[in-house]
Structure 1
């Protein structure tokens, strides 16, 4: 019986070992499945977030707006003095040259004033000549009296008592008086010379006014309007009453193309920016450069006035025409950028959601720069290479753990 018992025990152990192994294997498999199920549940509970890295790219903005051609220079010419138009030699549309006489005024009063000033100069010259002759006479009298006084003194010295002292004193007094008369005559000459300078200045004044009787062109251009005809009375442009201009002249061989730039882009416009111009009225299409800006916003329109100089030698373009202008505003060739979908522009300013190294969400306030249809320039708040969430920003909170997934963004700013 003992041998049978031992055989049964051995057989039992041999037969039971596979069953034990099978049970242990089933238990291990069951445990692994439980762990995988837990990880899957945790991953399912962590929301996915589409992220893109902050990158450096060139940012350039195109602005399409209507611009207006205006003359390079335009001025209404007034008369400096009042008078009647004796002759007007130009009409609207006439081309004029610098210095060309456009109209001549008849000013009788001014002619008389010029003649009077000329007579005043001649009178002053005669007074100066007379005063100089009086100086010469006074000097001759002084020399004679001085010599007489000197001879009396010498005689009195040679023979004391021969000449009375009273006679000597009278001679010296006459000498001193004649010397004073010389000084008076010289002062009279100086006064008359000053009076002559006054007369010359008055003559220059009236002669200059007489020169304004001819209205001339200040630059090469074209007469765009004529306000008066022959015989019309023109008031002086310097008078307090309203004066009528004679003609209006504009320089049109070069035109200014004036472009309004909205306030949001005014700070990015620079001299030298490229402007693509299409003139619908003539079909002309050309490229220009920004040459100047007003440097300040128009308070009425809240826009910056930008100008492009356009050569117009054949006068094909006329002031007042409009043109479609695409202004390529110079940006930054290496700017930090993010897609427009990554920026949340709320009432407290712009911000982005950054996913850190631990896949936690951080809200970062940012300062934005130039905006294009697909990307936004970031001036501060994030660094190159950081990951930001794009799309569905309202569904994420700061501190939340996310499952980041790279988002492929196309040029249009949409996800593929």
Structure 2
């Protein structure tokens, strides 16, 4: 009986030892964490952003001279060429002043030609001694010069009134399309900024503007182009080339204006269209990119868990660009550092750590 009891005790002791060994092995297995070697990668961000479509040139037409509209040669939707007559004003007082100035010029010109003829004859006769007194020659010359001055003055008046008359014919400043009309034939056209006549827009080439957040302004734009779509052209992607940047950050929106040029030869775009653009932006230098699960967000900071000599070490980081399940990080790190795939606050600094590199 005694021998039987001793045998049972030995068996129980052996079984308990095996169970403890299995538990230790399980704990060790649980302490082995998946990890990876840190390396730098190119960071590319596909940024979706609203885009604004504008005409390349736009002008609101005003009158330089007051007058009544006698001819209106265009309407909204009409395509016009540079220099084409858009409308004609009638200003009777300017016409009358021009006719008067022309009459004065003709009179002054006749007087000058007469005094010039007299002076030339006196000048010729004065070459014979005693025929013409010197004072008579000087008087004739002075009259001729005075008549010449008056003729030139009246000629300038003609040119001035002629210039004013040219203002009554209003022409297109560039190739474009009439998008707004504010007047009718017979209306009075004033010269104040409120007295609008027409609006003309250049639409053969369009400006496409986007406002890029400050955090992306130092990225390189791949192929220097914007890919954009509009609800008016379902399923069609359009491309515009980068032409200029404002070079300044808007204080309210913290964005920089980037302007693209789109050749609208097929007349697909219209000013004011709502579009959505996509910029493919690349960081100028490579950065560290890790799985988003590797970054632990605590109350006061963000960090990754680094394995250093099989010990836990927390490295504080700042996040950059997030793409899908990966995130760009900045901190006291170097290539080849071993980081855990899934960080945790439960792994305290200094804790023993075994890792399995993936």
- TM-score when scaled to structure 1? 0.64
Offset at 1:235? 0.5
Equivalences, count: 334
- Other-structure match for 2:100: 116
- Distance change (3 Å), C-alpha of 1:142 and 1:285: same
Offset at 1:85? 0.6
Q: Distance in 2 between matches of 1:258 and 1:281?
A: 18
Matches within 5 A, 1:221-300: 221-236=176-191, 241-268=192-219, 270=221, 272-292=223-243, 293-300=245-252
Structure 2 residue 261 is the aligned partner of structure 1 residue 309: yes
Offset at 1:313? 3.9
- Of residues 340, 353, 357 in structure 2, which corresponds to 1:403? 353
**What CA RMSD, in Å, does the superposition of the two structures yield over aligned residues?**
4.2
Q: Distance in 1 between matches of 2:140 and 2:155?
A: 23
Structure 2 residue 86 is the aligned partner of structure 1 residue 102: yes
Q: Which has the larger radius of gyration?
A: 1
Q: Is the Cα–Cα contact under 8 Å of residues 93 and 224 in structure 1 kept in the other structure?
A: yes
Q: Is the Cα–Cα contact under 8 Å of residues 63 and 170 in structure 2 kept in the other structure?
A: yes
Q: Is the Cα–Cα contact under 8 Å of residues 222 and 280 in structure 2 kept in the other structure?
A: no
- Of residues 270, 275, 279 in structure 2, which corresponds to 1:323? 275
Q: Which runs of 5+ in 1 are unaligned?
A: 1-36, 149-177, 409-416
- Distance change (3 Å), C-alpha of 1:263 and 1:333: closer
- TM-score when scaled to structure 2? 0.72
Q: Which runs of 5+ in 2 are unaligned?
A: 1-20
Q: Distance in 1 between matches of 2:42 and 2:323?
A: 11
- Other-structure match for 1:80: 64
Offset at 1:73? 2.6
Spell out, residue by residue over 1:212-238, the C-alpha distance to the aligned partner (whole angstroms, 9 max, x if none): 2122222333222211111000002xx
Q: Distance in 2 between matches of 1:182 and 1:350?
A: 104
Offset at 1:288? 0.7
Q: Quick check: which one's helix share is greater?
A: 1
Structure 2 residue 21 is the aligned partner of structure 1 residue 66: no
Q: Is the Cα–Cα contact under 8 Å of residues 42 and 282 in structure 2 kept in the other structure?
A: no
